[in-house]
Structure 1
């Protein structure tokens, strides 16, 4: 995989397709491959005429994995996205994020609006503002010697996922400490780019999409039917809603 330097870290990325660029930022304990390629998002974007750019966030995938929590503030991880666009010579892109990746996308759109044409916030509703109540349990689960005795359902879920993706669990624990920092409500109101907030109907982690979309000046909400947090990522209804949103705000034929 190609890589680039950001904030002293070597981060990996991949590119597929041509057309208007969509930067895809994955969720916690995942990777560009797991979050976007394996579930068909990259294929969907490329077939629709877009260039899909997947990034392995710091602490994840094939990228560098510092164990210092101070390296995982969402503002810094958003800067990684900008650094990748700089590396590729891209002035503006649509940004598609899921869960932690949606939080990063929101911080990116807030601080670097001139680089972001529109954002899709998947798996992230009002908890962008309210924060993640299960964070400390997830950290404890990541640092536990084994799954045995782990009873907290969310902690178990993420520990199983981290083991499945062969993740550096100490890096993930450090990431969880700081990357979940909430965004100020007043800052959300200042994200003035088109924004789709898409959350699963049974998602207990994200918070409701409607109230967040109402705070965003150009926000709209979409409920992914019958899906929870882990099963929304590759859902066809989510993809269809995402492509329709991109078609209105960042059309694939705009450069032709």
Structure 2
């Protein structure tokens, strides 16, 4: 099964790419930082698995990622711009009953949008822990430093693998730096509005964004699901897609 490419207007009219696969219940899938819909959801078969399970997979390339626009104008990067882009997608597609799934940055974006009033029926937060929502400052500084020292970073530097991923994904570093400054922290008390059934799915070797069990415990109606792998490694394994499918179809043990 192959994906089709569509386009939509994000916040402020920015042209953003939307990859579609399958037919059925709408499921928005948001990829991680410096990744893309192709790398996160399509390449490793997760989207095809979910489409076969009866979902229409709606997979945007986030602003400054993938095939979406990467403007250099600072005005194109207001606070929480990715959440604003997500709300624009839901409005333009006329979605009223849909599910939402994010991984890493996609999870942060999902939470910010729900805190801001978006109402998916079910929510999946992949590759995310409580500290990744409430304490973004340290991670933000790490990635901004990686962008700023891009040409200087050598093997053995803590930023080496981030820089290699940025290179492989052909990320526009000017746009990426602007985007990194738009992310807001979400204090634990704000999570009370996430009342929909939620799965926190994280690799057994992944603590890049903090403690997933603590995040699940902080949510009103959440389960913590463990899959094999590191933060980036679990994306390459079928277990991630299977866990998302089983939760959304109600076949997972709660």
d(CA) in 2 for partners of 1:31, 1:2 = 15
Q: Does 1:15 align with 2:17?
A: no
Q: Does 1:176 align with 2:198?
A: no
Contact 1:32/1:56, CA 8 A, preserved across alignment: yes
CA deviations on 1:170-195 (whole Å, 9 max, x unpaired) are 2112222232x221211112211111
Question: Which of 225, 243, 247 is the matching residue for 1:245?
Answer: 247
Distance of aligned partners of 1:73 and 1:217 in 2 relative to their CA distance in 1, 3 Å threshold:
farther
- Give, in angstroms, the shift of residue 69 of structure 1: 5.8
TM superposition outliers: structure 1 runs of 4+ over 4 Å: 68-74
Calculate the TM-score normalised by the size of structure 2. 0.89
Query: What is residue 51 of structure 1 aligned with on the other side?
Result: 56
What is the CA RMSD across the aligned residues, in angstroms?
2.0
d(CA) in 1 for partners of 2:75, 2:182 = 7
CA deviations on 1:208-255 (whole Å, 9 max, x unpaired) are 111111111111111223x11111124222222211110129xxxxxx
Distance of aligned partners of 1:232 and 1:89 in 2 relative to their CA distance in 1, 3 Å threshold:
same
Query: What is residue 233 of structure 1 aligned with on the other side?
Result: 235
Q: Aligned with 2:210: secondary structure?
A: coil
Contact 1:106/1:119, CA 8 A, preserved across alignment: no
- Give, in angstroms, the shift of residue 98 of structure 1: 0.5
Distance of aligned partners of 1:217 and 1:100 in 2 relative to their CA distance in 1, 3 Å threshold:
same
- Give, in angstroms, the shift of residue 25 of structure 1: 0.6
Q: Aligned with 2:220: secondary structure?
A: coil
Contact 1:69/1:177, CA 8 A, preserved across alignment: no
Question: Which of 100, 111, 114 is the matching residue for 2:116?
Answer: 111
Query: What is residue 204 of structure 1 aligned with on the other side?
Result: 207
Query: What is residue 156 of structure 1 aligned with on the other side?
Result: 160
Question: Which of 93, 96, 116 is the matching residue for 2:98?
Answer: 93
Contact 2:28/2:101, CA 8 A, preserved across alignment: yes
Contact 1:147/1:159, CA 8 A, preserved across alignment: no
d(CA) in 1 for partners of 2:207, 2:195 = 27
Q: Aligned with 2:101: secondary structure?
A: strand
d(CA) in 1 for partners of 2:111, 2:103 = 11
- Give, in angstroms, the shift of residue 90 of structure 1: 1.8
d(CA) in 1 for partners of 2:245, 2:150 = 42
Q: Aligned with 2:80: secondary structure?
A: helix
Q: Aligned with 2:64: secondary structure?
A: coil
**Aligned residue pairs, count:** 245
d(CA) in 2 for partners of 1:218, 1:56 = 29
Question: Which of 15, 36, 59 is the matching residue for 2:41?
Answer: 36
d(CA) in 2 for partners of 1:187, 1:136 = 23
Q: Aligned with 1:77: secondary structure?
A: helix
Distance of aligned partners of 1:163 and 1:133 in 2 relative to their CA distance in 1, 3 Å threshold:
same
Gap runs ≥5 in structure 1: 250-256
Q: Does 1:26 align with 2:28?
A: no
- Give, in angstroms, the shift of residue 79 of structure 1: 2.2
